[in-house]
Amino acid sequence: MTTSSPNESTQNPLFKKIEQSRRRPTTTSDSYIALAHGSGGKAMRDLIEDIFVSNFDNSFLSQLEDQATFDFKNFTKHGDRLAFTTDSYVISPLFFPGGNIGELAVHGTVNDLAVSGAKPLYLSCGMIIEAGFPTDSLRKIVKSMKRAADEAGVKIVTGDTKVVHRGAADQLFINTAGVGVIPSGISMSAQKIQVGDSIIVNGYLGDHGAAILLARKELDIQAEIESDTQALNGLVDTILDVCMEVRAMRDVTRGGLATVLNEFAMSSKVGIRLFEKKLPVREKVSAVCEILGLDPLYFANEGKLVTVVPPDKADTVLKAMQSHPAGIDSAIVGEVFAPPSGSLGLVCLKNKFDTERVIDMLTGDQLPRIC
C-alpha cells in the first residue's frame, strides 16, 4: 500500500483548486437569496463574509465564532450593572421615508438600553430571510445598520442568518439584542414617579406611524412625512449630565405616548395630566389623523422618549435637551397629580377649552406592522 506525502498532496490539482477557492475573496454573486444561503455550507459563508462581516467589521465579529467574548473590564469601566434587551422587527414596507428596517433594528434596541440609563455597547443581529429576497436590498439594509451602529457608538458583534421558503416570512425579519452598562448612581423606575413631577418629550409625536401608514400607499393621501427613527443614547447622556434624579424614562414606540404614560401611571398609582396646547404634533400628522379618525397620541415613534423629572429640575432638563440635535423640539407637556382615592392610576388630557378627558391605553392595533 502506498500513501502520498503531504508535499505530494499539495501538488494535486484538486487540492490546489480547493485552496484557491477558499483563499479568494468571498463574494455573493447571486441576485437573490436562495435556500442554500442558509444551509450552513459555502454559499452561507460567502453571504456572511461578503455582506455581514465586511460591513460590520470589528475584532469580535471577525473571529466567526458562535459567540462574542469580552473582557469584564469592557463593562466595569462604564458602570456596575448590566442592561440587556432584545427586540424583533417586522415592519412593512422594509424601506420607508426616513429609514429602513435595518437602522430601525439598531435604533430600537439602542434606545431600549439608553432609557434605562445604560451606555449601549454591543448588539447581536439575527436575520430571517425569505428565499427570493433581492441580495442588493439586503446589502443596503446591512450598510444602513452599520451606519446606525457607528453613529450610536455600538458594535454589532455576533449574529445568525436563517433562510426560509417563499411565503414562510414577509421578505425579511430582524432580531437585535443589546448589552449595555448602567453607571453607578443611576436608578430610574416608573414606580418612582411622584406628585408634582414634570413630563417632557423630546419632539414631534407620531411621525413614524404616519410615515409608515402613507408609505404603504393604501390610502389616497399625499403628504411628505418622514420617520423619526434615530438613536437616543446621546440625548439620554445629556439629560443625565444635568439631572441624575430622573424618575423614569421610556422610548415612545408602539402604542404611542398615551400607552407609555398609562403604564407609568399604573406603576406608581398617580394621575398624569397632558396639556393639548403643549403637545408637539406636526400639522401634516394631525391632518392625517383627522382624516382617518386616528389619534396622534397612539401613533408609534422610533426616535422619541418621554422622561419624568422633579419639578425643580424641569427647566434645566428641558434646556439641556433642546441643546442636543435629538431634542431641539423638546417640550414640557404634562404634570403628575394626585389621582382620586382608590385609583390605580389614570391619564387625562386638558384640551384648548380647558376641559379634560381620560386617555386610556391603546386597546387594539391602530396600525399594523409599524416596527
In the chain (371 residues long), the average pLDDT of successive 10-residue segments reads: 55 59 60 90 88 90 87 89 96 96 98 97 97 97 98 96 95 98 94 97 96 85 91 98 97 94 96 97 93 90 97 98 98 96 92 91 72 80
Q: Does one domain contain both 225 and 132?
A: no
Within 10 A of 277 (CB to CB), how many other CB atoms are there?
10
Strand-by-strand arrangement of the 198-201 sheet: 248-251, 305-309, 198-201, 331-337, 271-275, 346-350, 356-358
Does the N-terminal peptide bond of residue 93 adopt cis geometry, omega within 30 degrees of 0?
yes
Residue-level pLDDT at 11: 64
pTM: 0.90
Domain count, the chain: 2
Domain assignment present for residue 269? The answer is: yes
Is the CB of residue 304 less than 8 Å from the CB of residue 205?
A: yes
Q: Does one domain contain both 256 and 323?
A: yes
Question: CATH code at 250?
Answer: 3.90.650.10
Measured N-to-C along each axis, helices 101-114 and 135-152 cross at an angle, to the nearest 10 degrees, of 30
Any bridge partners for residue 201, and if so which?
306, 331
Question: CATH code at 101?
Answer: 3.30.1330.10
Determine the Cα–Cα distance for residues 319 and 238; give it in Å rounded to an integer: 10
Domain assignment present for residue 8? The answer is: no
Within 10 A of 88 (CB to CB), how many other CB atoms are there?
14
Domain assignment present for residue 123? The answer is: yes
Nearest Cα to Cα of residue 111 among 254, 319, 212, 320:
254
Cell 382617518 found at: 292
Please report, as a single letter, which amino acid is at residue 57.
Answer: D
* Domain edge (last residue) among 182, 211, 233: 182
- SS3 state of residue 41: coil
Q: Does one domain contain both 326 and 207?
A: yes
Helix ranges, the chain (H) = 6-10, 13-23, 42-47, 54-56, 73-76, 101-114, 135-152, 207-215, 233-242, 256-268, 283-292, 314-322
- Domain residues for the domain of 129 are 28-182
Is the CB of residue 212 less than 8 Å from the CB of residue 91?
A: yes
Q: Does one domain contain both 103 and 166?
A: yes
Residue-level pLDDT at 221: 81
Is the CB of residue 177 less than 8 Å from the CB of residue 84?
A: yes
Residue-level pLDDT at 223: 84
Cell 448588539 found at: 123
Q: Does one domain contain both 103 and 234?
A: no
* Domain edge (last residue) among 159, 182, 205: 182
Determine the Cα–Cα distance for residues 284 and 14; give it in Å rounded to an integer: 65
Determine the Cα–Cα distance for residues 37 and 1; give it in Å rounded to an integer: 41
Determine the Cα–Cα distance for residues 307 and 283; give it in Å rounded to an integer: 24
Q: Does one domain contain both 118 and 242?
A: no
Q: Does one domain contain both 113 and 227?
A: no
Q: Does one domain contain both 203 and 312?
A: yes
Within 10 A of 297 (CB to CB), how many other CB atoms are there?
24
Measured N-to-C along each axis, helices 233-242 and 314-322 cross at an angle, to the nearest 10 degrees, of 140
Domain assignment present for residue 12? The answer is: no
Determine the Cα–Cα distance for residues 293 and 221; give it in Å rounded to an integer: 14
Q: Does one domain contain both 118 and 199?
A: no
Is the CB of residue 284 less than 8 Å from the CB of residue 348?
A: no
Domain assignment present for residue 78? The answer is: yes
* Domain edge (last residue) among 132, 165, 182: 182
Residue-level pLDDT at 16: 56
Cell 432580531 found at: 175
Domain assignment present for residue 19? The answer is: no
Q: Does one domain contain both 161 and 241?
A: no
DSSP symbols for 197-215: -EEEE-S-SSHHHHHHHHH
